[in-house]
Structure 1
Amino acid sequence: MSEGTCQRLWESSHVALRELLDREQPLLEPVPERERPSFQYRLASLYLHYLGLLRRFDTIYDQMVQPQKRRLLRRLLDGVAGRVLELKDELVRADLCETHYLDHVLQDLKLTPADLEVSIPKYFLLEQSSAVRERGVMLAEILSRMEPVFSKESAPGMHRTEAIILVQKAERARQGRLRATFMREIRREEERDRRSREDGRHKFGQDYAAVTIQKVWKGYLQRRQTQRDRRTEMEFIGMLPLPSQVEPLNIMFQATLKDDVRRLHQIEKEEEFQAAMAKAHDSLTETEGPDMKEKMKEQIRQWFIECHALTGRFPDYPDESLGGSSLIFADKTPEQVRMELELQAQEGKKREEDKSKEKEKDKKEKKKKGKDEKAKKGEADTVLQVLPSKFVSVISAGHEEYLNTWKNRYDRLYPGENFDSETLREAKRKEVEQEIRIQVDELMRQELKKLRLAVDKEEERPFKAPKKKPGKKTGKKKEKDLTPDRSVDSLYEELVTFGFLKKSETVTLKDYIGDCLYLGSTLTLANKLPMPSLFDIRQNIALYAVLRLGSPDIHAMAPLIRSILLVGPSGMGKKMLVQAVCTETGANLFDLSPGNLLGKYPGKNGTQMIVHMVFKVARLLQPSVIWIGNAEKNFYKKVPKEEREMDPKRIKKDLTKAVKLLMPGDRVMLIGTTEKPQLADMRGLCRVYERILLMPRPDYASRYVLWKHMIETQGGQVTQHLDISALAKVSDGYTPGHILQTIQSVLTKRRLLRLSKRSLVASEFLGHLAKLEPVYREEEESLKDWYFKTPLGKKNMKLSKDQLEAEEAKLAKEKKKRK
């Protein structure tokens, strides 16, 4: 993509962004419960538009070379990604469900299911590729130095005579098999001759045999020519690509090469820009710095004189926390500045008085609360309203900067890749002014003391620190460091040695194949509860885990999610999704599964130490994923006898405390996976895992895509002879793991070599598929029943029940009117 094309895409993106910003304000107005469908529709529409903007800004940021524009694009990209996460959170609150069925919104907006895909910004991995590489090298070195846990037992020795006898037996068996095969062929030949004599057949003559061979050969040539003619015709009408266009490897290589060249170009321009910034800073400090300093001093001295003339005394110098002398440089008179300082002091006193009054009121209200409180809560719940956004202001500021700086520039039509020196000097001038202002503030505070002493004979006034605004304490709880004298490298090595820090497999999120549910809204209208598809699961993982862990700026401002629980039968790809999160974000993978803790760090202190070490290293080496397989074991209602020695509940308390201490900015996520959540205590499980994602067996659309993709991935060819639709129907109840296992059993090396002679057919897979144990409907229903006992599941069931009752009441009223 050229710089001009990138610029035009940027302009069109800002036009769409302006429309979305205009639609933000109406969403803040409260909506009654009866208008829930329209509220959900507006939310879903805004969510889809922001998803489209996220893809466009990601493309522009990846293609843009000009460093100043890239900085603005980065802020816009993070802002739009954060807004997508906020809208996802609002959709969950509105739908009371983790999955959303937006097919009717897609149809109205004339979009395709591909527009539902969450784009993962490419800079997530590019910017920390060096750190990921260094961690990989360090992990490989530690693993190479590790001593084997179990000593390798040497193979038992064998006497020479025994070895000779063993070889002789094998050779005799081989010769016997060859002899049996030879004799079988002789018997078949004799049987054919006997049958031909009994039927009275005669051997063909030489001429007859030659004519038969010619017929077969000419038929083969004609069929091949017909196939060529048909392909030529299809290529001519555009139904098949031309041979010159079918060069995927060459095209991919060229595209990758161009990407590498462009990124090298981006690095070169960034280095030039950094050098220019340092040079501009030094130049401005030397040339304009002294004049700025003197001008500031004169302004402050004039302010001193004017305040003394108006009030008869010198003013208090504004504190640095309030902005220092920047308050004086604002377009305000000295009297206005003095009044503002006095008002701030008065407001502090009022706040204290109001706080004491509120405490008294709260005490009185607590006594009177009862049924009225429940009624008020019910009324509040019936009102739908979007929470104020933290990212809209960031997006608006970026949009305004684009309008003021880049929209009407002279190089808009033919943009260059070099930085703009005027914009650079203007931005650096503000930084230099800020630095000089701090220096001037220190000097003028001393000068103000001398003036007070010389003119008013006034001693130094006691400084009163500004009081903090009243409100809830949001400070981070202090955690006791159990390893204060240990370095990060030593902790890292210890965790690798004991198997708590593992190397994740390279799996992308796109490898988790699945199609979306096309009739979700239709089933909802028919009062049938649709189950999430594999596509929905992949989207939720991208939103809840990847986007948050990939960027520190997004994580610091987005709605905080500390943990996720993946619930589904074996073979659904739960561990694969954990590996994909690590791959997409470059995160470390920690394993705190009960099986991995067996025999390590025994005792109460040991348990506390290992949880502390894992979370400490995870914070220091962000981003990090802490995985717990068989998560239900940590919260067993009753520990089975065979697992009592394992003590699976040993980290329950420490894990709960550690998860609660994760704050915005700590790019650490706990991901649990479980097949049998019914065995766990619901309250304890939901206290640790904030988001619970149910993964039911795949539907028909997902199975169809899975069969086709996996066969092609394993080296097979999907032809007209292979009925993928029949395979998708027959494999109802089987998981992606079952399908992959079946395909690997069929597509052996020998079968792959014979594909050119004999195409694949559906019947080849049925025998292997029948040997596997499917997920029975009773097991899936058990998981669904458990899920609807979770807090969000209960709310969803209550909402659907209320809607059904409202519809029945409406129908009853209509019947009465007709009578």
Structure 2
Amino acid sequence: MSFDLNHKYWVSTSKEIGQLLKKQNRLKTIEPPENKAISFKIFSELYVLYVELVNKLSFIYFNTFQVQKRAVVRTLVENATQQLMLLKEELKEMELSEYIYLDKVLIARKLTPRDLMIWRSPQFLYRRPLDIQNILSNNKLYMNDQEKEETDAKDWSKVTEAVELIQAHERARQARVYKSNIKYDKKKYLEVKQRKKVTYRFTFKPNQAMSIPVKRTLFTADFIKTDESCKDLRDKNENREESNDETEMERINVLRDNAARIIQSWWRAYKTKKIYKIKKQFKREMLGIRKTRRLKRPNRFANSVLEMYKNEQKRRKLDEDFEKLIMDERTRLLQMRSPWMMEDISDHIRAWFEEFYNKTGNFHAYPDPVKKGTVLVVIDETMTPIEFQETLNKKPMSKEEKKKLRAKIKAEKKKLRDKIKLRKMKEAKRRLKLKAAGIIDVGFILSDSKPIEKIEATMKQFSIDWRNVDEYLNKNHDPIKSWVTEEQLDIIHHELRELVDEYMRVEYELLRKALATDQNVPYKPQKVKKPKKKKGKKKKKPVDPTGDRTLSSLYNELKDEGVIEVVSHKDFDEFISDFNFTADDTRDEDNLTTLGPAKGDIKMVIQESMLGMSEFDISKPKSILLVGPLNSGKKLLCNIISSELDAVFINLSPEKVYKHADDMNMFLHIVMKVAREFQPTVLYIEEAHRVFFKKVPADQKEISPKLLAPFITKKILKPIKKTDKIVLLGTSSMPWAAKPQLKKAFQKIVLIPKCDYGTSFLLWLELMTENATNDLENYTYSALARVLQAYNSGDITNNIANTLNVERKMHLKSEALNPREFLEYFLTELDPPLFPPELKMMEKFSKWFGKSNKFAKMRHAIMAIKEAKQKKK
């Protein structure tokens, strides 16, 4: 992305931020809307605006290289994303659902539900330290000499093995050739073998002119010089009587010419037809007559992965230069200006002594280090000479008076605290009453938002700091040196003032001692209150049983045992699904949606949970459970999450865990240590209900599926901190077979809905056109989607892959594809036949999910109250 475009983009985005802040400030002053639909509309409009803002700011952040400006943009994008999550939580509570539908706002802004997706991989990836990345990628770029030698030795051993394998195959091939030649014609082969070989060495050098001119053969012969058709040439009788050798050669030449003519005729006809077909398709598409029925996937973010890494290297170089500039500037200031700064500080303190002595005949108490020392003198937070004189004229307070004064101050502080607490309680009660009446206090929610306050403060400070800076002239992304100088001067001043205070305190005590001698008053040195060092509770560091082992050995141990798996790269576009476009139009009298989510809505929930795994500080769930029938796409979603995060995939399914039953504590210690060091990390449990089985089936007893259950909370979830990029990911196709602990172990539970018509249509369209684009241009996708809609997406994918195999695609032109073939695959080719999931099964999933999701519980409670009122009527 060019510098000019990024600059213009930032200018327009900063204006939009200003307009958004003005809009929010107006909304802060409004009265709580009595109609809940108005509150929903306000929050939905703000949510869409923040989605656009986060997308723009994230793009600007990853294309901004100036270090000081990048810090400003980072603060904005982080707080904008936090506010976005807060708005989404408010909308979820209004919808009483994990899914929100904002069709009216999207239509007004000419957007689609796909535009609400804010995950942008690979820009949001969390970067690992270089030493950790070296272990994962075996990259030599950041290795030391010893590590490079070890890696090169391993690589050379692999090359040696490959060469030996190639040599073995070549010797075997030569042996087979020798055997077949001996078998075919032993005498002739041995004569050839006995001929002397002439060794020749090729000595050509690049850009060397040829000493002997070489004549090049030009293949421009044209054998088509007749009006005879291909059919006439095939029917023509070529069996002529042989007269002599010359006529025989002529006949053979004629046959060769005819053969070449036929080949050229067919090739030219094929080429002409192909060019004509391409031109015809282009013309029809240009005129709008023909449109290719193919799902157009949206383009990913403009920057490629390679460009992203180049930008990262550039940013790292600029960061290093900026740190070097700070150190150089700090060194220069310490060398050039520190003696004069210390002299200025001491002169200022002496002038302060003199001022008080001349006006009051005494010295002001020297500020204690606990109160930042003589910094109080600079910022005028000490007493004036007049105020100090009044304190001298007052009689010293007795112990009882001091005690009463302290008690009075304490009572006033307590009164103020109680007053604030009472005001907050009244405010909370007021909002609870409004919420019970279905009224949302929009103004209070926006006023109480800390991310909005930080965005306002950042933009205000930016307008002050950058008002005299022309960013357009700084195309080399150089840091502003004057700011660095000012910042380092401030830091050095505070450091030197602490040092000067220690020396000036000695001078202050000498002056006080001399004054006491002159006044014949006993001298008492002033007590110095130094800041107390925070004595944190000394926690015993847990003993690390693997402290003597390297991270590389722990990682390789888990990888060799198959616990760490390498997953194939997938992205969200490969989870083919459609959104629910009718839910917003089917709201009831309480403004709640009556239709459940479509399969595409799952992406919104998953991406929302993944935002916290980026480099920004955003809340995220520690554990996610994907619930749904078999072949509904649960494993694919887990694969997508791991790929999009570039995460280490650790499989903790019962099949992997039961091998470590003898020492589970040690095994889980290694797993969590690797997960924390190599984050982002995905801890995966396949069919997680097995870990919490109510009754273990006989065929599962061998792998002890419940072995991990006692350790999940204490050993896995509890050690995960808010800042850790670790998530426990589970799938389940029979959640009702597990105990209630399954719901407690997973913070977020997502139910994958049954396949809808839109998703089914997109599946058939995308997968069939990928297999045979031109041959299935106009096909009955809609009919297939309607008839086979109830089947899961995995079943449809397997059907297309098996029905449209290579052999069947070869016969598509001669034998058209019959839709009955897809139905026959389900009913006849599979044993037993495959039928769609029963309606009772999906109801069972919905019933279990309704008891585990908080929004589903709230909705059921409201519907129960509503039904009870209707029964009374």
Task: Calculate the TM-score normalised by the size of structure 1.
Answer: 0.73
**Aligned counterparts of 2:111 and 2:493: Cα–Cα separation in 1:** 54
Measure the CA separation in 1 of the matches of 2:276 and 2:738: 65
Q: Which residue of 1 aligns with 2:573?
A: 510
In structure 2, relative to structure 1, the CA distance for the partners of 1:220 and 1:576 (3 Å cut) is: closer
CA displacement, residues 458-483 of structure 1 (integer Å, 9 cap, x when unaligned): 34626375799xxxx9x999994553
Give deviations 1:96-145, integer Å, cap 9, x for gaps: 32111121221233322332122326433485495674242469999x99
1:531 alignment partner in structure 2: 596
Give, in angstroms, the shift of residue 650 of structure 1: 3.4
Residue 519 in structure 1 maps to residue 582 in structure 2: yes
2:777 paired residue number:
720
* 2:802 alignment counterpart: 745
Q: 2:672 matched to 1:672? A: no
Contact 1:284 1:429 in 2 (8 A): no
Match of 1:463 among 502, 507, 529: 529
**Residue 120 of structure 1 corresponds to which residue in structure 2?**
120
1:574 to 634, 645, 657: 634
Shift of 1:736: 1.9
CA–CA distance in 2 between the matches of 1:330 and 1:646?
71
Gaps of 5+ in 2: 141-149, 156-230, 237-266, 389-401, 423-427, 514-522
CA contact (8 A) 1:716 1:747 kept: no
1:182-225 deviations in whole A, cap 9, x for unaligned?
A: xxxxxxxxxxxxxxxxxxxxxxx999x99xxxxxx9x9999989
**Matched positions, count:** 704
In 2, Cα distance between equivalents of 1:773 and 1:593: 28
Residue 13 of structure 1, CA deviation: 0.8
Deviation at 1:315, TM superposition (A): 3.7
Matched-pair contact (CA < 8 Å) for 1:318–1:327: no
The Cα offsets for residues 220-263 of structure 1, whole Å up to 9 and x where unpaired, read as: 99998986675354355477899xxxxx9xx9999777767666
Conserved 8 A contact 1:306-1:334: no
Query: In structure 2, what residue type is equivalent to 1:549?
Result: M
Encode CA deviations 1:279-306: one digit per residue, 9 max, x unaligned: 3333333334444444344445555666
Aligned to 1:419: 477
- 1:700 matched to 2:757? The reply is yes
Partner SS state of residue 766, structure 2:
helix
Note if contact 1:293-1:440 (Cα within 8 Å) is conserved in structure 2: yes
Q: Does structure 1 conserve the Cα–Cα contact (< 8 Å) formed by 2:345 and 2:500?
A: no
Aligned to 1:6: 6
SS at match of 1:42: helix
- Tell me the distance in 2 between the aligned counterparts of 1:311 and 1:390: 50
2:547 aligns to what? 485
Amino acid at match of 1:574: K
Aligned residue among 264, 284, 288 for 2:333:
284
Letter in 2 for 1:601: A
Deviation digits for residues 616-640 of structure 1, max 9, x if unmatched? 3322332222222222223333444
Matched, 1:616 2:666: no
User: Which of 550, 568, 580 is equivalent to 2:614?
Assistant: 550
Deviation at 1:550, TM superposition (A): 1.5
Partner of 1:730: 787
Partner in structure 2 of residue 399 of structure 1: 459
Give RMSD over aligned pairs. 4.9
Supply the distance in 2 between the matched residues of 1:36 and 1:298 (Cα, whole angstroms).
66
Is 1:94 equivalent to 2:152 in the alignment?
Answer: no
Instruction: Give the aligned residue type for 1:404.
Output: I
Structure 1 residues 311, 694: CA separation in 2 closer, same or farther (over 3 Å shift)?
Answer: farther
Q: C-alpha separation between the residues in 2 aligned to 1:380 and 1:310? A: 63
Rounded to whole Å, the distance in 2 between the matches of 1:403 and 1:484 is 52
Opposite residue 593 of structure 1, the aligned amino acid is S
Whole-Å separation in 2 of the counterparts to 1:357 and 1:252: 51
- SS of equivalent to 2:705: coil
- Residues 224, 614 of structure 1: CA spacing in aligned structure 2 closer, same or farther, 3 A cutoff? closer
Paired residue type of 1:504: V
- Find the residue that maps to 1:692 and give its secondary structure: strand
Answer yes or no: is the 8 Å Cα contact 1:21–1:396 preserved in 2. yes
> What's the counterpart of residue 252 of structure 2?
none
1:798 alignment counterpart: 861
Deviations 1:488-532 (A, max 9, x none): 514434433443333333222332222211111122337663222
Deviations 1:380-425 (A, max 9, x none): 655645384343344334323442344664454xx4422345x233
Query: What are the Cα deviations for residues 19-46 of structure 1, in whole angstroms up to 9, with x where unaligned?
Result: 2223445667898695332222222221
Q: Shift in Å at residue 3 of structure 1?
A: 1.6
The code of the aligned residue for 1:56 comes to K
Displacement of 1:780 in angstroms is: 1.0
The answer (yes or no) to whether the contact 1:628–1:672 under 8 Å persists in 2 is yes
Map 1:161-240; keep pairs closer than 5 Å: 230-231=280-281, 233-234=283-284, 236-237=286-287
Whether the 8 Å CA contact 2:353–2:364 is kept in 1: the answer is yes
- Aligned pair in 2 of structure 1 residues 268, 357: CA closer, same or farther (>3 Å)? closer
SS of the aligned residue for 1:534 comes to coil
Q: Tell me, yes or no, if the aligned pair for 2:121 and 2:644 is still in contact at 8 Å.
A: no
The worse-fitting range, judged by mean Cα deviation, of 692-701 and 69-78 is 69-78
User: Distance between the aligned counterparts of 1:616 and 1:269, measured in 2?
Assistant: 33
User: Identity across aligned pairs (percent)?
Assistant: 24
Does structure 1 retain, via aligned residues, the 8 Å contact 2:51–2:116?
A: yes
Give CA deviations for 1:254-283 in whole Å, capped at 9, x if unaligned: 977776766665555555545444433333
- Matches of 2:412 and 2:745 in 1, distance apart? 37
- Residue 561 of structure 1: SS of its match in structure 2? coil
Letter in 1 for 2:545: T
CA distance in 2, matches of 1:746, 1:311: 104
Deviation at 1:444, TM superposition (A): 0.9
**Change over 3 Å in CA distance of 1:531–1:357 after alignment to 2:** closer
Q: Distance in 2 between matches of 1:691 and 1:27?
A: 32
Summarize the Cα distance change of 1:653–1:350 in structure 2 as closer, same or farther, 3 Å threshold. Answer: farther
Structure 1 CA distance for aligned equivalents of residues 665 and 682 of structure 2: 19
CA contact (8 A) 1:58 1:122 kept: no
Question: Closer, same or farther in 2 for the Cα pair 1:450/1:99, shift >3 Å?
Answer: same
* Maintained 8 Å contact 2:761/2:782: yes
Q: Could you tell me which amino acid in structure 1 is paired with residue 482 of structure 2?
A: R
Q: Which moved more, 1:46-55 or 1:287-296?
A: 287-296
Q: Distance in 2 between matches of 1:500 and 1:351?
A: 62
- 1:601 partner SS: helix
Answer yes or no: is the 8 Å Cα contact 1:618–1:668 preserved in 2: yes
Q: How does 1:346-425 map to 2 (within 5 A)?
A: 350=410, 354=414, 384=440, 386=445, 388-406=448-466, 409-412=469-472, 415-420=473-478, 423-425=480-482
Shift, 1:730, TM fit: 2.1
Q: Which has the larger displacement, 4-13 or 455-464? A: 455-464
Cα shift at 1:567: 1.2
8 Å contact 1:317–1:445 — kept in the other structure?
A: no
TM-superposed deviation, 1:727: 2.1
1:748-807 CA-to-partner distances (Å, cap 9, x unmatched) read: 22334455666656444332244434222211111111111123321122245557889x
Partner amino acid for 1:538?
K
Q: Does the residue aligned with 2:661 lie in a helix, a strand or coil?
A: coil
- Assess, with a 3 A threshold, how the Cα gap between structure 1 residues 592 and 223 changes in structure 2: closer, same or farther: closer
Deviation at 1:427, TM superposition (A): 3.2
Q: Distance in 2 between matches of 1:573 and 1:348?
A: 68
SS of corresponding position for 1:780: helix
Q: How does 1:309-348 map to 2 (within 5 A)?
A: 314-315=364-365, 317=367, 319=369, 327-330=376-379, 332=381, 334=383
Tell me if the contact between 1:514 and 1:535 (Cα under 8 Å) persists in the aligned partners. yes
